[in-house]
Every structure is written in C-alpha cells, then in structure tokens.
Structure 1
Amino acid sequence: MIVFGTKGYLYQLAILTLVCGSCSTPAAHTLRKRVTKFTLFFVPLFPISTKYATQCTFCGAEQKVTREQAEQLQTQAAGVPGGQSYGQPQRPYQRPGA
C-alpha cells in the first residue's frame, strides 16, 4: 500500500503598514506565502503550488498578490536604501547649523 497526499506550509515573510482595501484603515498587514507540497509516506517531496497574500490585522481581510508584488513588498519591508520602511526608527529632526 502506498500512502500519498499533500501538506500545506504557511510562511510569514514580512509585516507592512498599508491602507486596507476592505476597511480603508491604515493598519499592519502580514505578507504570507502558502506552499503546498506533495507527500509520499508522510515525507514532503516537491512543491505543487505557491501562493502569496496580504492579510489586514485590523479587519482580517485577505488579498491575493502576485509573486512580483510580494517581492516588491518584501523589499519595501526590508528597508532598502532610498526607500522608507515603517518598521525602522527614523532619525530625529535637527535644524541646519545646530
């Protein structure tokens, strides 16, 4: 007898502050990656599907995003130089010449 099936894995890639499309509230959103893998005798062998989504932590609404959009959001969350990330502390304002 051969035992096979699928198993799902959920990865949290980043947390971003975005305006929710459902509740119109600026709130934290989690960027998630869901991978479904084929299993044989309860051993995961290879991925069958990969999906990306953001979920609002205020209202719970989930929105699907493409892989490219997920990569852009993850780069934004990492705070690449030249971009502003909400999770990083900002420098205090100093007057010129002070």
Structure 2
Amino acid sequence: MIIFGTKGYLYQLAILTLVCGQCGNPSAHTLRKRVTKFTLFFVPLFPFSTKFATQCTFCGAERQVTKEQADQLMAQGNGQASGQDYGQGGGQPYGQPQQQNPYQR
C-alpha cells in the first residue's frame, strides 16, 4: 500500500501599505506565497505549485499576483520603491503611486 497526497505551505513574505482595489482604503496588505508539495508516506518530496497573493487586512480581499509582481512588491517593501500599487482584479497595477513622506527615513 502506497500513501501519497499533497500538503500546502503558506509563507508570509512582507506586509505592505497599498490602496485596496476592493474597498479603496489605504491599508496594510500581506504578501503571501503558497507552495503545494507532493508527499509520499507523509514526507514532502517536491513542490508542484507556487502561487503569490496579496490580502487586504481591512476588508480581507485577496488578489493573485505574478512572481514578477511579488518580487517588485518585495523590493518596494525593502525601501526600493517601484511606484506601482497592486490589488485590482487579475493582479494588474492600478491607481496613482503613493507619495513618499520626505520626513520618513
């Protein structure tokens, strides 16, 4: 008897302040990575699915983003502003870039 299946892992990559495409509020969004791995006898062997998403902490709306967009958001979160916000359907950029606070370091 062979026991096999899948197991999902959820990683929180960053917390970013973006304008939500659903509720329109500038709020914190979590950038998450979901990895699904194939398991054999309850041992995870290899990943076969990786997805990235942002979730608004105000309304709970979740939007899928591509790996490239997730990399841009990670760079933005590390202080290297890319000038784009994400959150509208399909993971497309929307709205005006948020202004940088000149007094914030």
Q: Percent identity?
A: 77
RMSD: 1.7
Counterpart in the other structure of 2:43: 43
Q: Which has the larger radius of gyration?
A: 1
Q: CA deviation at 1:20?
A: 0.1
Deviations 1:9-53, CA, capped at 9 Å, x for gaps: 000000000000000000000000000000000000000100000
Counterpart in the other structure of 1:66: 66
Q: CA deviation at 1:78?
A: 1.1
Secondary structure of the 1:29 match is strand
TM-score (norm 1): 0.83
Q: Does 1:90 align with 2:104?
A: yes
Secondary structure of the 2:23 match is coil
TM-score (norm 2): 0.77
Q: Does 1:19 align with 2:19?
A: yes
Structure 2: gaps (5+ residues)? 83-99
Q: Does 1:52 align with 2:52?
A: yes
Counterpart-to-counterpart distance in 2, 1:42 and 1:50 = 19
